[in-house]
């Protein structure tokens, strides 16, 4: 029987090693080595090498596991899948690549583990603050090994909300801007950090009361979803309780403001 707590501690160490590489490269990063996948979709050799480091380390931890990776290290390009029969790692080697390229905090290493289709462990390592967020199914959530819990704010009027801006599929932009405007008026404010993994980790840590974004991939959110849930929060799709891991849209909250968030989104979201 797999000890997911011990496995998550090993995962945290693998993520920190990848983060150390990213931090070292940040000191002398050469923007000319950036690959343009799209106007708003960038990748660098740092993403690719960090992913190779992660895959190598995770194969040592759990040799039988498959992979879902952003940069295609395990074969192919883009989203590459190599799915194990029981375990699958879901990897984002550098969530917040645009921040990294421009020398801005924050950016993260994010890795989640699926066991028989359910999230079992996850780590988000925020490189610039040297913070390791770790969660185990049924075992709680931690930041630098201190337990974390979601905020106790009771409503949107006492909340700080995080979001991400769309960089493809601009057909929903008008609806998104209406939602953004409503949250700006009904909360303490809205922040756009530039890393969904950090947004979710910070909901888990009680720094944000909620987070919403659409057009996300599984590797953006896998570890963060488990962090929020294990910290006492709630994570769904925009309008329903469907699985957000592969659903492309996420609402995460402390639980207390969740229905208000969904109701606000419902006013404008037509997709």
- Residue 136: per-residue pLDDT: 98
Same domain (yes/no): 183, 255 = yes
Element (H, E) at 5: helix 4-26
Same domain (yes/no): 208, 130 = no
- Residue 173: per-residue pLDDT: 86
- CATH number at 93 reads 3.30.540.10
- CATH number at 169 reads 3.40.190.80
Element (H, E) at 69: strand 66-69
- Residue 28: per-residue pLDDT: 84
Q: Is the CB of residue 144 less than 8 Å from the CB of residue 125?
A: no
Q: Are strands 87-95 and 80-82 parallel, antiparallel or unpaired?
A: unpaired
Among 96, 117, 147, give the residue marking a domain's end.
147
Tally of structural domains, the chain: 2
Same domain (yes/no): 103, 170 = no
Q: Is the CB of residue 50 less than 8 Å from the CB of residue 93?
A: yes
Residue 262 β-bridge partners: none
Which positions make up the binding site? 70, 92, 94-95, 220
Here the tokens at position 156 are: 């949107």
Which positions make up the binding site for Mg(2+)? 70, 92, 94-95, 220
Q: Residue 135's Cα: distance from chain center in Å?
A: 13
Same domain (yes/no): 43, 68 = yes
- Residue 147: per-residue pLDDT: 98
- Residue 76: per-residue pLDDT: 37
Q: Quick count: other Cβ atoms within 10 Å of Cβ 224? A: 34
- Residue 39: per-residue pLDDT: 44
- Residue 35: per-residue pLDDT: 65
Same domain (yes/no): 185, 262 = yes
- Residue 166: per-residue pLDDT: 77
Same domain (yes/no): 203, 129 = no
Q: pLDDT by residue for the chain (271 residues), tens digit each?
A: 789 999 999 999 999 999 999 999 898 877 666 666 554 445 678 888 999 999 999 999 999 999 999 877 665 334 444 555 699 999 999 999 999 989 999 999 999 999 999 999 999 999 999 999 999 999 999 999 999 999 999 999 999 999 998 776 677 889 999 999 999 999 999 999 999 999 999 999 999 999 999 999 999 999 999 999 999 999 999 998 888 999 999 999 999 999 999 999 999 998 6
**Domain enclosing residue 176, as ranges:** 156-268
Distance between CA atoms of 99 and 34, rounded to whole angstroms?
Answer: 13
């Amino acid at each position: 029987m797999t000890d997911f707590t011990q496995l998550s501690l090993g995962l945290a160490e693998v993520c920190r090693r990848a983060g150390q590489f990213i931090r070292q490269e940040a000191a002398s990063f050469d923007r000319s080595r950036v690959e343009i996948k799209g106007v708003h979709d960038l990748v660098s050799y740092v993403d690719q090498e960090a992913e190779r480091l992660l895959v190598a380390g995770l194969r040592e931890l759990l040799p039988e596991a498959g992979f879902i990776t952003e940069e295609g290290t395990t074969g192919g390009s883009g989203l590459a899948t190599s799915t194990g029969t029981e375990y699958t790692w879901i990897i984002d080697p550098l969530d917040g690549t645009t921040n990294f390229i421009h020398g801005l905090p924050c950016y993260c290493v994010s890795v989640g583990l699926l066991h028989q289709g359910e999230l079992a462990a996850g780590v988000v390592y925020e490189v610039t603050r040297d913070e390791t967020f770790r969660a185990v199914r049924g075992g709680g959530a931690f930041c630098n090994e201190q337990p974390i819990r979601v905020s106790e704010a009771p409503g949107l009027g006492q909340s700080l909300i995080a979001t991400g801006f769309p960089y493809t599929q601009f057909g929903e932009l008008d609806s998104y801007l209406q939602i953004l405007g409503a949250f700006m008026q009904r909360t303490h404010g809205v922040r756009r950090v530039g890393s969904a993994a950090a947004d979710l980790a910070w909901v888990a840590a009680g720094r944000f009361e909620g987070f919403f974004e659409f057009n996300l991939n599984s590797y953006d959110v896998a570890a963060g979803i488990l962090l929020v849930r294990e910290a006492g929060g709630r994570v769904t799709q925009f309008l329903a309780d469907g699985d957000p891991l592969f659903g492309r849209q996420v609402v995460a909250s402390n639980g207390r403001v969740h229905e208000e968030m969904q109701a606000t989104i419902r006013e404008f979201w037509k997709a």
